Amino acid sequence: MHFTASLAAAVGFTAIDHVLAKPFPAPADNLRPITQIELGPRPYYLVDNMDDGPLKSKLESCQNMKMRPSSFSIAHRGGGPLQFPEHSKESNLAGARMGAGILECDVAFTKDLELVCRHSQCDLHTTTNIVNIPELNAKCSTPFQAAANGKPANAKCCTSDITLAEFKSLCGKMDGFNASATTPEDYLHGTLSWRTDLYSTCGTTLSLKEHIAMTKALGLQFTPELKTPQVTMPFHGNYTQQDYAQQFIDTFKKAGIPPSRVWPQSFLYDDLLYWLKAEPQFAKQAMYLDENADVAGIQAATHNLTRYKADGIKIVAPPLSYLVSSQDGKIVPSEYAKRANTLGLKIITWSLERSGPIAGVHANGDYYYSSIQDVVKKDGDIYNLVDVLARQVGVLGMFSDWSATVTYYANCFGLGV
Ligand SMILES: *[C@@H]1O[C@H](CO)[C@@H](O)[C@H](O)[C@H]1NC(C)=O
Ligand SMILES: *[C@@H]1O[C@H](CO)[C@@H](O)[C@H](O)[C@H]1NC(C)=O
Ligand SMILES: *[C@@H]1O[C@H](CO)[C@@H](O)[C@H](O)[C@H]1NC(C)=O
Distance of alpha carbon 406 from alpha carbon 213, whole angstroms: 24
Q: Is 227 helix (H, G, I), strand (E, B) or coil?
A: coil
Distance of alpha carbon 30 from alpha carbon 47, whole angstroms: 36
Q: Which ligand is nearest to the CA of 240?
A: 2
238 C-alpha to ligand 2 centroid (Å)? 6
Protein residue with its CA nearest to atom 6 in ligand 1 = 181
Write down the pLDDT at residue 87. Answer: 98
Distance of alpha carbon 219 from alpha carbon 70, whole angstroms: 12
Q: Is 74 helix (H, G, I), strand (E, B) or coil?
A: strand
Among the residues of 188-240, which ranges form H helices? 208-217
Among the residues of 256-313, which ranges form H helices? 269-278, 280-283, 293-296, 298-311
CB-based contacts of 197, cutoff 8 Å, min separation 6: 14, 15, 16, 173, 174, 191
- Domains detected in the chain: 40-122+204-413 (3.20.20.190)
- Which ligand 2 atom minimizes the distance to the CA of 243? 13
Distance of alpha carbon 159 from alpha carbon 228, whole angstroms: 12
Residue 359 has pLDDT above 90, yes or no: yes
Q: Which ligand is nearest to the CA of 308?
A: 3
Q: Which helix (H) or strand (E) holds 207?
A: none
Of 238, 246, 247, the one to substitute when testing ligand 2's pocket (max ligand atoms within 8 A of C-beta) is: 238
* Pocket flag, ligand 1, residue 14 (CB < 6 Å): no
Residue 380 has pLDDT above 90, yes or no: yes
Q: Where are any strands of DSSP class E within 134-220?
A: 142-145, 154-156, 171-172, 203-204
Please report which confidence band the pLDDT of residue 30 belongs to, taking 50, 70 and 90 as the band edges.
Answer: confident
Protein residue with its CA nearest to atom 12 in ligand 1 = 189
Is residue 405 a contact partner of residue 399, using CB atoms and an 8 Å limit?
A: no
- Which ligand 1 atom minimizes the distance to the CA of 188? 14
> For 325, phi and psi rounded to 5 degrees?
-145, 180
Pocket lining for ligand 2, CB < 6 angstroms:
237-238
Protein residue with its CA nearest to atom 8 in ligand 3 = 292
Q: Note the Cα 95 to chain centre separation in Å.
A: 11
Write down the pLDDT at residue 4. Answer: 37
Protein residue with its CA nearest to atom 4 in ligand 1 = 181
Over the stretch 181-220, which tens digit does the pLDDT of each residue have?
Answer: 999 999 999 999 999 999 999 999 999 999 999 999 999 9
Q: If you average pLDDT over every residue of the chain, what do you get?
A: 94
* Pocket flag, ligand 3, residue 267 (CB < 6 Å): no
- For the segment 136-157, the average pLDDT, to the nearest whole number, is 98
Q: Where are any strands of DSSP class E within 252-379?
A: 265-266, 287-289, 315-317, 324-327, 330-333, 346-352
Residue 79 has pLDDT above 90, yes or no: yes
